[in-house]
A and B are shown apart, each in its own frame.
Chain A
Amino acid sequence: ETGVTQSPTHLIKTRGQQVTLRCSSQSGHNTVSWYQQALGQGPQFIFQYYREEENGRGNFPPRFSGLQFPNYSSELNVNALELDDSALYLCASSLAGQEETQYFGPGTRLLVL
């Protein structure tokens, strides 16, 4: 049990729609990262937030955006969904001062039809 929760667990959307995924981590976990994991692949870094500001971004287009809130919750928003966005979306948080050690939530499985 990592103390990181995500919602919803599963989601089905159609191409062109927008989706918001949510993550909540423990008090003191002030860094949150989002990853996309396609079937048979390792997780790919989307972006990271530290103290409510974006602190790094992977090779994902601007239609992937995020927010982090003061209560250690965060969101991943994806606009104009494409079929290739179907994946497991993982949120990972880390303790202040131990940012490299990340603990994953259970993930949200998104299917785009």
Chain B
Amino acid sequence: QKEVEQNSGPLSVPEGAIASLNCTYSDRGSQSFFWYRQYSGKSPELIMFIYSNGDKEDGRFTAQLNKASQYVSLLIRDSQPSDSATYLCASVWGNTPLVFGKGTRLSVIA
């Protein structure tokens, strides 16, 4: 049973701080990892994906992957109130469907 675990939160950070969102996965065969942002009442929006160990940066977002520890994280620098949302982590192996965690709710306090 492939599982992706996330702390449901809420994670509260002050505006301008770094938000750190974490995710662990059970299937060592998982190859690709995705972070989606979901505003309340809306559908998930793809933020980033990462395939290789290490860091991948895109603007204020950095995804980090450690396959040995089966751990994925998303850092959001200079957090803004507009970043307040639920962040979903998902893993996939080849053409298998995305396996999602339950999401972490982030609240950025102005």
Contact = CB atoms under 8 A, between A and B. Distances in A.
Interface of A: 33, 35, 40-45, 48, 55-56, 58, 88, 90, 92, 99-107
Contacts of B103: 42
Interface string B34-72: 101000001111100100000000000000000000000
Contact of A105 (B4, B43, B49): B43
Nearest to B36: A104
Contacts of A88: 43
B97 A90 contact: no
7 contacts: A40-B8, A42-B4, A43-B100, A104-B45, A105-B43, A106-B42, A106-B43
Contacts, number: 55
A55 B88 CA distance: 24
Given A42-B88, A42-B101, A42-B102, A90 B96 contact: no
